[in-house]
Chain A
Amino acid sequence: MTRIAIVGNSHVAALKMGWDLIEKDYPHLDIVFFASVGKAAHDRVLKGKVFGFLNPEPSKHEIIFGNHSERSINLAEFNHVLRVAEPKKESLLSVVLENTVVDGWPKDGREHHMSQSTFEALVDFAAKKQLISPDWCNWTSPKVTSCPAPYPDERCVNHERPTRIARWRVLAKRPAEMLWLREMYIDKHRAWAEKHNIGLLIQPEETIAENGLTKKSYSEGSFRMDANKMETSEEHIHMNAEFGIVMLKKYFKQIDCAAAK
């Protein structure tokens, strides 16, 4: 039996729903999900290999999903840990590309120029910033894998809300540039992660729409973890069970835990 802990924020929901649909194909896997949302998610800490709400008295905004409602989880008891979902720092580059043309791209009226090497340095900075806290780095057991947040639903470009994904709308205006940037970003992110013995679970190509964001079919009917309940909400940020299945299958393959049949 291989034991996997999937810990994180509201994006854990898609994976949990996906797991519920494919669990029977993986009798050799024991997965424990442990998620929290909003402010509470930031209150969880890591001490040694114990992760969770480690303060003796629960705070009023503490929310726990999964983990048998336990406030913490001892990760030393697992073979693998998947951290879901680190905010993507790739979108930091939107503020550059909004008014700057990088050498090699068509001059389209944007005000400023930037060399490829300068831009690459900015991408490297963003990728390094994406790296999870040092406390999670260089573990030999369990093996830690980081799963960045999914790209927003491709339809978000037609809406003004939510404003927190405004930067993705900027990038999606020029998909070719975004995909070029993404390739560079992932290479650098992977290099930083490997250096710190962190695995990286990248969103598969099959889920990516033409504008570089997530295909709507992976977002439609998504659920979002919210205070003490699961709520349907098409807010372009969270993904559905189908997405969860794709991600989990890729993850299992990465850690040599593919389906038994």
Chain B
Amino acid sequence: MSNSPYQDLDPRAYWRTGVSQRSPLEPGDLYHPKFPMRKRKPIVTIGSCFAQHIGRNLRLAGFNVMDGEPLHKDFPDELAAKYGYRLFSARYANVYTARQFRQLLDEADGTHIPSDRVWKMGERFVDAQRPGVEPDGLPDEETVLAHREAHLRVVKDLFTNASTVVFTFGLTEAWQCKESGTVFPTAPGTIAGTFDPERYEFVNFNMISVFKDFQAIRRKIMEWAPGVKFLITVSPVPLTATASGQHVEVASSYSKSVLRAVCGLAYERFNNVDYFPSYEIITSQNARGAYYEPNMRSVSAKGVETAMNLFMTAHGITPKGAASKAQAAPEREEFDDEDLTVCEESLLEAFAK
């Protein structure tokens, strides 16, 4: 008589011992790194709002998070964030979808030029791929394109020198130009531009297309930086709004499920891809919603701290910086920390009324 394959497994393999019996807010043994993260090796961060937290905390912990478009430390984070500085390794702003990331790399490589590069914002002009980094806009299209060229040079240089790329998958929903297929980080008309249903259309990327985009991203960066590794995560921040016609909760679940499945497949398939389960940590039933702000969407400072502590500990690093700062900080600080996260998607909130 043979034993069940579920007998004698590690306690982390069972829901009862792995979750139910775990102390509330104890993050558990959720992460075993596939490869170590070295503090001195250059890290490039990119992705959705949640990637900002990861980048900031890695930097606070002493990791070499690169900043290709830096603003001097004499200027405060709040001011820097308003103009897109210090949020990621370059001022590309939030890159919510894998398609947008792929498009950025192709553009930096000169193999693809997106359409609709410049959007109008009142009498001013903005970069359609990062409309939020110049909140006052620029005086003309030429200036926008000159800034974009300089930015693209930084992007290519960053990824060429990266040892690890940290990418947070944020969304599957996007808006694209019907004619060219160019996708945008925000719907035309949200921050800038004009929404023309004849020109733009809604797209909800499925698992196959997100995975293909990730494959292309990986391939391109490996061409530039052959030894590069990837640490991928899924943002635990639900959608602010959906254009899918579904209830936003259903749409969020679909979106996150697709992204989580892509991460699972990439983790299984590629030796140089590791998955960090920040999504599972934050959304865990064990946390009983405690890692979210009262709006049940934004991740609280405690949630970020818990996830990052788990990450540091798994990599043999004593958590400090963000974690110890969060412990010492008064409760008000938590809101301040959240305020530093720039999320164009939350502008959709303004249109919900």
| Known contacts A113-B150, A115-B143: A122-B79 contact under CB 8 Å | yes
Instruction: List B contacts of A115 (CB < 8 A).
Output: 134, 136, 138, 143, 147
Interface string of A109-147 (1 = CB under 8 A from B): 000110111100110010000000000000000000000
> Once the chains are docked, how many angstroms separate the CA of A95 from the CA of B73?
9
Q: Which residue of B lies closest to A124 (CB)?
A: B79
Is A92 in contact with chain B by the CB < 8 A criterion?
yes
Q: Which of B82, B138, B150 contacts A121 (CB 8 A)?
A: B82
Q: Which residue of A lies closest to B84 (CB)?
A: A118
| Most chain B CB inside 10 Å of its own CB: which residue of A92, A113, A121 | A113
Is A96 in contact with chain B by the CB < 8 A criterion?
yes
Say yes or no: B79 contacts A95, CB within 8 Å: no
Say yes or no: B72 contacts A95, CB within 8 Å: yes
| Known contacts A103-B138, A103-B143: A121-B74 contact under CB 8 Å | no
Interface residue tally for chain A (C-beta within 8 Å): 13
* Total A-B Cβ pairs within 8 A: 37
How far apart are A167's CB and chain B's nearest CB, in angstroms?
A: 10
Interface residue tally for chain B (C-beta within 8 Å): 19
| Known contacts A103-B143, A122-B79, A125-B79: A117-B74 contact under CB 8 Å | no
How far apart are B231's CB and chain A's nearest CB, in angstroms?
A: 27
Is B224 in contact with chain A by the CB < 8 A criterion?
no
Say yes or no: A96 contacts B83, CB within 8 Å: no
Q: Which of B75, B134, B135, B150 contacts A125 (CB 8 A)?
A: B75
> Once the chains are docked, how many angstroms separate the CA of A122 from the CA of B74?
10
Q: Which residue of A lies closest to B147 (CB)?
A: A113
> Once the chains are docked, how many angstroms separate the CA of A103 from the CA of B147?
9
Say yes or no: A113 contacts B79, CB within 8 Å: no
Say yes or no: A117 contacts B134, CB within 8 Å: yes
Is B69 in contact with chain A by the CB < 8 A criterion?
yes
How far apart are B20's CB and chain A's nearest CB, in angstroms?
A: 51
Instruction: List A contacts of B350 (CB < 8 A).
Output: none
Interface string of A96-115 (1 = CB under 8 A from B): 10000001000000001101
List CB contacts (< 8 Å) of B68-91 with chain A.
69, 71-72, 74-76, 79, 82-83
Instruction: Classify the secondary structure of B's interface with A.
Output: loop
Is B1 in contact with chain A by the CB < 8 A criterion?
no
Instruction: List A contacts of B329 (CB < 8 A).
Output: none
Q: Which residue of A lies closest to B148 (CB)?
A: A113
> Once the chains are docked, how many angstroms separate the CA of A167 from the CA of B74?
13
Say yes or no: A112 contacts B75, CB within 8 Å: no
Instruction: List A contacts of B136 (CB < 8 A).
Output: 115, 117-118
| Known contacts A92-B74, A95-B72: A118-B83 contact under CB 8 Å | yes
Q: Which residue of B lies closest to A120 (CB)?
A: B136
Instruction: List B contacts of A112 (CB < 8 A).
Output: 69, 150
Say yes or no: B72 contacts A96, CB within 8 Å: yes
Instruction: List A contacts of B75 (CB < 8 A).
Output: 92, 122, 125
Instruction: List B contacts of A113 (CB < 8 A).
Output: 146-147, 150
> Once the chains are docked, how many angstroms separate the CA of A92 from the CA of B74?
7
Instruction: List A contacts of B147 (CB < 8 A).
Output: 113, 115
Instruction: List B contacts of A103 (CB < 8 A).
Output: 138-139, 143
How far apart are A195's CB and chain B's nearest CB, in angstroms?
A: 19
| Most chain B CB inside 10 Å of its own CB: which residue of A117, A118, A125 | A118
Say yes or no: B146 contacts A121, CB within 8 Å: no
Q: Which residue of B lies closest to A107 (CB)?
A: B146
Interface string of B43-85 (1 = CB under 8 A from A): 0000000000000000000000000010110111001001100
> Once the chains are docked, how many angstroms separate the CA of A92 from the CA of B76?
12
How far apart are A188's CB and chain B's nearest CB, in angstroms?
A: 14
> Once the chains are docked, how many angstroms separate the CA of A112 from the CA of B67?
12
> Once the chains are docked, how many angstroms separate the CA of A122 from the CA of B143?
19
> Once the chains are docked, how many angstroms separate the CA of A117 from the CA of B150?
17
| Known contacts A96-B72, A112-B69: A121-B79 contact under CB 8 Å | yes
The 4 closest A-B pairs by CB, nearest first: A117-B136, A95-B72, A113-B150, A118-B83
Inter-chain pairs besides A116-B139, A118-B83, 4 sampled, C-beta below 8 Å: A113-B146, A115-B143, A117-B138, A122-B79
What is B's interface to A at a CB cutoff of 8 Å? Answer: 69, 71-72, 74-76, 79, 82-83, 134-139, 143, 146-147, 150
A-B contact pairs, 28 of them (CB 8 A): A92-B72, A92-B75, A95-B72, A95-B74, A103-B143, A112-B69, A112-B150, A113-B146, A113-B150, A115-B134, A115-B136, A115-B143, A115-B147, A117-B134, A117-B135, A117-B136, A117-B137, A117-B138, A118-B83, A118-B134, A118-B136, A121-B79, A121-B82, A121-B83, A122-B75, A122-B79, A125-B75, A125-B79
What is A's interface to B at a CB cutoff of 8 Å? Answer: 92, 95-96, 103, 112-113, 115-118, 121-122, 125
